[in-house]
Amino acid sequence: MSKRLLGHTFSLLNVDYVKLNEKWDYGNVISPYFRIYYIDEGEGLVLSNTEKIKLEEGFLYIIPSFTLCHLRCDAYLSQYFLHFFEESPVGLSLFEYNRKVIKMPALETDIANFKRLLEINPGRGINRSDNPKIYEKTIYYKSYQELNNIVSDSTYLETQGIILQLISRFLSSKQFKNKNPAPIPSKILDAISYIQLNLTSNLTVDYLAKRANLHQDYFSRIFLQFTGERPLTYIHVKRIERAQYLITTTNLSYIEIAEETGFENVSYFSKIFKKVTSLTPGQYKQQNLLKCDAITALECRS
């Protein structure tokens, strides 16, 4: 394990302290980098298609890369935030099997680490907008990452050390599931990342195989070997996961959701939705409404 960890590097993207209000309300966020938050005042929410996590004072949170979520503040929230890319020598993320938000009480050392990151990396906030759809563009990634090449060696190493300390806090959490599977080949990981970021595109197995410079049959076999699913099945599952999220958190019509998730028509969308979930989109929506009513009733009693 130690050798594998020593091969990982983490590239700083952004770090800042911000005060947010109800305008911080962004759905369908899926980023190729990690987020770590420390909340020092106020409240907010991170919503996914499987859970609702409250952002509250005194807690530390990590949102792994490629974790689909909705970020929201209903009134006021102040937070320290850190965005960073992860690079692995074997192409396997430390959080490959832990793609859920992890929450834990913050320590004094965590707060000191955030303040120190800000001190040695000034001007690394997001000045354009707090909307991920605006600042999450390749041109912005490159400009932010280029700043890592001009800092001093001591700043670079200290930044790496602080990021490692913050990550280690979550690796020791009971919520973190420690597994040691065989490393997934980089070409398969690249295909997985491409699928997750391009669900609205016309994704075909032939195209993914050509991107990986592999024969289609061989690509399908190794994709199945390392993910447990055929490429087309994996694409369908990821599209339906996003559709479930949109049904739960938005008022979009089924036609709009089909378009947002890369299906050519509602009929095909409904067919695949039922195949994956065993429910029609309408049944799934009704099921979630009943859950919300039950949760509301419990909250009223408490």
pLDDT of residue 205: 95
Vertex 250, ends 139 and 58: CA angle to 5°?
Answer: 70
Q: Which among 251, 232, 243, 236 is positioned nearest to 284, based on CA atoms?
A: 243
Burial class (CB in 10 A: 0-12, 13-18, 19+), 248: buried
pLDDT of residue 300: 43
Residue with tokens 């479930």: 244
Q: For the chain, what is the mean pLDDT?
A: 84
pLDDT of residue 87: 77
DSSP track, 129-168: -S-HHHH-SHHHHHHHHHGGGTS-HHHHHHHHHHHHHHHH
DSSP track, 22-81: TT-EEEEE--SSEEEEEEEEEEEEEE-SS-EEEEETTEEEEE-TT--EEEE-SSEEEEEE
Q: Which among 199, 201, 194, 197 is positioned nearest to 243, based on CA atoms?
A: 199
SS3 16: strand
CA atoms within 13 A on the CB side of 159: 27
* pLDDT, average across residues 229-256: 88
Q: What domains are defined for the chain?
A: 2-171 (2.60.120.280), 186-290 (1.10.10.60)
Measured distance CA(62)–CA(173) in Å, rounded: 11
Measured distance CA(157)–CA(168) in Å, rounded: 16
Measured distance CA(54)–CA(298) in Å, rounded: 17
* pLDDT, average across residues 256-267: 93
Q: Six-digit token pair at 122?
A: 């000034």
Give the type of residue at 67: T
SS3 10: strand
Residue 60 contacts residue 12 (beta carbons within 8 Å): no
pLDDT of residue 61: 97
pLDDT of residue 43: 97
- pLDDT tens string 65-104: 878 788 999 999 999 999 998 876 555 577 877 778 999 9
Vertex 218, ends 212 and 221: CA angle to 5°?
Answer: 110
Residue 278 has pLDDT above 90, yes or no: no
Judged by average pLDDT, the poorest of 42-46, 204-208, 244-248 is 244-248
Residue 6 has pLDDT above 80, yes or no: no
* pLDDT, average across residues 204-230: 92
Measured distance CA(242)–CA(249) in Å, rounded: 11
Residue with tokens 């965590």: 110
- pLDDT tens string 166-197: 999 998 877 776 555 566 788 888 898 888 88
Residue 39 has pLDDT above 90, yes or no: yes
Residue 46 contacts residue 63 (beta carbons within 8 Å): yes
Measured distance CA(226)–CA(188) in Å, rounded: 8
SS3 284: helix
